[in-house]
Amino acid sequence: MKIRAIAGNTFKEAVRDRVLYVIVFFAVICIGLSRVLAILTVGDRVKIIKDVGLASLSIFGVMMSIMVGTGLVYKEIDKKTIFTLLSKPIHRFQFLLGKFIGLVLTLLIMFSGMSLIFLGLVYFHTFSIEWRLFIPIVYIFIEMCLITSVALLFSCFSTPILSSLFTLGFYVIGHFSWGLDTLIAKIKSGFWRGTANVVYTFLPDLENFNFKTEVIHNLPVASQIYVFSLFYGAAYTAFVLALAILVFRKRDFI
């Protein structure tokens, strides 16, 4: 009940944030522009619309996670409302989980609206429901949940600007960490290769949630990969949330 109450208040606060609507507005514009690009570009128009539309969902979805998520805890600390909340019989982990669930619910509603517009645009061109498009959409949202947990972690001990930069860095590193695997293969066995392997193990691999190319070009993907990506996202999000709770418990607000 305590987590639900905090989640409800967080949701009400988040939906009032104008930044969310600005991001959604530009996302819808980019999705709409995909039709213009399809007309001006030589090639399969539907594939171009799918490619630009899914890329827009991914980029603007992450932007929503970062812009709103980084201010979750900091606003409570800055406005001193954190003292009132923690003076009540509420554990700190309940506070953080409530914040996380409330924001994820907000993102789900906003992202669902953007996705429906994108799917409607595709339907306008194909006159059929592209059920396979739901695969990258679902995994983009899973990635958004992970980014939200990272933003929440940084907001526990940093300002919104620094938290945004740190979370953005996490996102960029997560999509280019595959390059480290190529580098490891070129390093001779020894201390440096072992160190690189340890770093590579703990670095996020956000490409696990990227199925846009496979779906757009109808490439085969083993069902085990979908299952692995699902558990990877859930496990990594749980790990980051546990770390955020640990940091928040050590935080002294006096």
pLDDT digits (tens, 9 = 90+) for 55-111: 888 998 898 888 888 877 777 777 766 667 667 777 877 888 888 998 899 889 989
Q: Is 42 a residue whose pLDDT tops 70? A: no
pLDDT of 121: 86
- Between CA 109 and CA 120, with CA 114 as vertex, the angle to 5 degrees is 125
Mean predicted confidence (pLDDT) in 41-68: 84
User: Above pLDDT 70, what percent of the chain?
Assistant: 86
The answer to whether residues 211 and 139 touch, using CB atoms and an 8 Å cutoff, is yes
User: Which tokens sit at 136?
Assistant: 């990258």
Region 4-31 average pLDDT: 80
Place of tokens 């280019």: 176
Residue 191 pLDDT exceeds 70: no
Question: Residue 134 pLDDT > 90, yes or no?
Answer: yes
pTM, whole model, 2 decimals?
Answer: 0.86
Indicate whether 15 pLDDT > 80: no
31 is written with which tokens? 């999705």
Query: What distances in angstroms separate CA 57 from CA 64, 83, 166, 195, one per listed residue?
Result: 10, 37, 21, 36
Of 84 and 30, which is predicted with more confidence? 30
C-alpha span between 250 and 95 (Å, rounded) = 14
The rounded percent of the chain whose pLDDT value lies above 90 is: 18
Half-sphere exposure of 21 (CA within 13 A, CB side): 5
Q: Mean pLDDT in the chain?
A: 83
The reported pLDDT for the residue numbered 252 is 67
C-beta atoms surrounding 41 within 10 Å: 12
Q: Please give the average per-residue pLDDT across 159-163, as a whole number.
A: 86
| For the chain, domain boundaries | 2-250
